[in-house]
C-alpha cells in the first residue's frame, strides 16, 4: 500500500499546524534522564504572560484547534492557569503534559471545572521501582497522587502517558490495567534520543525483539490506546498501525519552546531545525508559512539508503529526530529500523560526530546514575 493522496498533500504543508506543542518553561521539579527538552532550570528569556497571550491571539486567528502544552513542568509557571484559561477562551483547546506534582485537591477541582482541557500525566513504569529510575525518587507516588486527585474531583478520562523503554515494555498490560482502573486513557509513545534522552537512549531504547512485542501489542489494542502516531517505523513489521504514519515535522507538527523559538518538532531542539522565533517580525504565522527550513521540509524527501527497502511506503524511513541525534544520515534508515538496516551504521558513527542538543537547561551537578554507569 502506498501513501494515500491525503498524506501526500499533508507533506506539502498546511496553512497552520495541526499538532502544535508549546513548552511553556524549561523549569522542572524533576530531572528525568530521558527528558526530550533537557529541562531543569528556567530560562530568563522565557516568554512573559503578555507575550504568551499575544501568541495565543495569533494561533486563534490561524484557527489552531488545540495546543499541546508541555515543558519542563508547565504548572511551575505562576501564570499557568491564566495562560490556559485564556487559550480556551479564545477557542483553542488545551492538552497538557505534567508530572502531576502540582495537582493537589484544589488544583484538581479547578482543572475539572474547565472545558476543552485534556491532561496527560507522565509515568514511565507501572511500579515505583521501574518508574523512579527514569523519573526520579518519589515521582511514581507523586503521579499516582495526582491521578487520585483528578479521579476524586471527577475530572473524567485523563490520560496516562508512557514513554516505552527496554525496562517497561513488559508492563504494557499493567499500564493498561492501571489506566482502566481510573477510567483513564493510556497513551504510549516512542522514546527518541532527544535532549537528555540522547545520552540515555542506548540504555533505554527497546531491543529489536521488544519492538515486535510493541507492534503486536498495539495491533491487538487498536484505537483504544493513543500513540501520537509515534510508532510508524514499526509498520515495516506488518499491516499499518492506525494513524497518519508520516513524519510531520514542519508539515503538520511544530514546537514553540519557552523562549519563543520555533522548531520543526518537539524532538529536534537543535539550531539545524530552528525555523525562527514568535517574536520576529511576522510572528509565528510567518515562521510557519515562510521559513526556509519549513519550506524545505515540505519538499519531497529523498529515501536515500531506504529506497531499495520493500517497507519504505509503510515506514517512510522512520523518525528524523531519531536519526539526527544518533548521528545517522537523514535520508536513510531509522536507528531502530526493524529490518536491522541501521545497526552497522550506528555502530560505526564516531561519538564526536553525534550532534548535541543546542539548548541544555539541566540542573548542574546531577549525573544520572544510569549514565554514569556506562
Partner 1 sequence: MRRLLSTALEVHPQVALRPEPFGALAYHYDNRRLVFLRSRDMLNVVESLSTYSTLEDALVASDIEPQRWQSFESAIDSLISSEIVRVR
CB 194, min distance to ligand SF4, A: 8
- Under the criterion CB under 6 A, does residue 10 sit at the interface with ligand SF4? no
Instruction: Tell which one of 309, 330, 349, 370 touches ligand SF4 (CB under 6 A).
Output: 309
Nearer to partner 1, 41 or 90 (CB): 90
- Verify cis geometry, omega within 30 degrees of 0, for the bond prior to 20: no
- Under the criterion CB under 8 A, does residue 224 sit at the interface with partner 1? no
CA distance 176 to 87: 31
Phi and psi torsions of 140, nearest 5°: -65, -50
DSSP for residue 162: E
DSSP H or E segment with residue 120: strand 117-122
- Cα atoms in the 13 Å half-sphere on the side-chain side of 291: 26
Do residues 43 and 23 touch, judged by C-beta distance below 8 A?
no
CB 68, min distance to partner 1, A: 12
The site map against ligand SF4 for 336-355 (x = CB under 6 A) is -xxx-x--------------
Q: Site residues for partner 1, window 6-45 (CB under 8 A)?
A: 6, 9-10, 12-16, 18
Instruction: Tell which one of 312, 343, 349, 360 touches ligand SF4 (CB under 6 A).
Output: 312
- Under the criterion CB under 8 A, does residue 300 sit at the interface with partner 1? no
Angle between helices 172-182 and 139-153 (to 10 degrees): 30
Phi and psi torsions of 277, nearest 5°: -135, 145
Nearer to partner 1, 14 or 370 (CB): 14
Nearer to ligand SF4, 348 or 352 (CB): 348
Cell (9 digits) for 122: 507522565
Q: Site residues for partner 1, window 47-106 (CB under 8 A)?
A: 63, 65-66, 91, 93
The site map against ligand SF4 for 225-264 (x = CB under 6 A) is -----------x----------xxx---x-----------
Do residues 302 and 330 touch, judged by C-beta distance below 8 A?
no
- Under the criterion CB under 6 A, does residue 199 sit at the interface with ligand SF4? no
**Residue linked to cell 501526500:** 8
Q: Site residues for ligand SF4, window 264-283 (CB under 6 A)?
A: 265, 267-268
Do residues 355 and 324 touch, judged by C-beta distance below 8 A?
yes
- Under the criterion CB under 8 A, does residue 279 sit at the interface with partner 1? no
Altogether, the residues listed in the chain come to a count of 374
Nearer to partner 1, 91 or 355 (CB): 91
Do residues 318 and 333 touch, judged by C-beta distance below 8 A?
yes
- Verify cis geometry, omega within 30 degrees of 0, for the bond prior to 53: no
Residues of this chain that interact with ligand SF4 (CB under 6 A) are: 192, 236, 247-249, 253, 265, 267-268, 306, 309, 311-312, 315, 317-321, 333-334, 337-339, 341
Residues of this chain that interact with partner 1 (CB under 8 A) are: 6, 9-10, 12-16, 18, 63, 65-66, 91, 93, 116, 118
Amino acid at each position: 500500500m502506498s501513501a494515500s493522496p491525503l498524506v501526500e498533500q499533508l507533506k506539502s504543508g498546511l496553512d497552520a499546524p495541526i499538532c502544535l506543542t508549546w513548552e511553556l518553561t524549561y523549569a522542572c521539579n524533576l530531572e528525568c534522564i530521558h527528558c526530550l527538552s533537557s529541562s531543569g532550570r528556567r530560562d530568563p528569556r522565557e516568554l512573559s504572560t503578555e507575550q504568551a497571550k499575544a501568541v495565543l491571539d495569533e494561533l486563534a486567528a490561524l484557527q489552531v484547534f488545540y495546543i499541546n502544552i508541555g515543558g519542563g513542568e508547565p504548572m511551575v509557571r505562576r501564570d499557568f492557569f491564566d495562560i490556559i484559561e485564556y487559550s480556551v477562551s479564545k477557542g483553542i483547546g488545551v492538552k497538557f503534559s505534567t508530572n502531576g506534582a502540582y495537582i493537589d485537591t484544589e488544583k484538581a477541582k479547578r482543572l475539572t471545572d474547565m472545558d476543552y482541557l485534556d491532561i496527560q500525566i507522565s509515568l514511565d513504569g507501572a511500579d515505583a521501582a521501574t518508574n523512579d529510575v527514569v523519573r526520579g525518587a518519589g515521582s511514581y507516588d507523586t503521579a499516582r497522587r495526582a491521578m487520585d486527585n483528578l479521579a476524586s474531583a471527577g475530572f473524567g478520562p485523563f490520560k496516562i502517558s508512557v514513554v516505552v523503554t527496554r525496562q517497561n515494555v513488559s508492563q504494557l498490560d499493567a499500564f493498561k490495567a492501571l489506566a482502566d482502573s481510573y477510567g483513564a486513557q493510556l497513551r504510549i509513545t516512542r522514546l527518541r534520543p532527544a535532549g537528555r534522552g540522547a545520552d540515555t537512549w542506548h540504555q533505554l531504547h527497546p531491543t529489536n525483539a521488544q519492538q515486535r512485542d510493541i507492534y503486536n501489542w498495539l495491533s491487538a489494542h487498536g484505537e483504544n490506546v493513543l500513540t501520537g502516531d509515534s510508532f510508524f517505523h514499526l509498520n515495516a513489521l506488518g499491516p499499518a498501525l492506525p494513524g497518519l504514519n508520516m513524519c510531520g515535522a514542519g508539515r503538520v507538527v511544530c514546537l514553540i519552546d519557552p523562549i519563543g523559538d520555533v522548531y520543526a518538532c518537539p524532538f529536534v531542539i537543535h539550531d539545524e531545525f530552528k525555523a525562527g522565533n514568535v517574536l520576529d517580525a511576522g510572528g509565528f504565522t510567518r515562521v510557519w508559512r515562510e521559513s526556509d527550513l519549513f519550506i524545505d521540509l515540505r519538499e519531497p524527501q529523498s529515501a536515500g539508503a531506504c529506497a531499495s527497502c520493500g517497507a519504505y511506503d509503510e515506514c517512510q524511513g522512520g523518525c528524523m529526530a531519531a536519526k539526527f541525534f544518533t548521528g545517522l544520515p537523514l535520508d536513510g534508515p531509522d536507528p531502530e529500523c526493524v529490518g536491522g538496516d541501521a545497526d552497522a551504521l550506528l555502530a560505526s558513527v564516531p561519538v564526536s560526530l553525534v550532534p548535541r542538543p543546542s539548548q541544555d537547561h539541566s540542573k548542574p551537578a546531577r549525573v544520572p546514575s544510569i549514565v554514569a554507569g556506562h
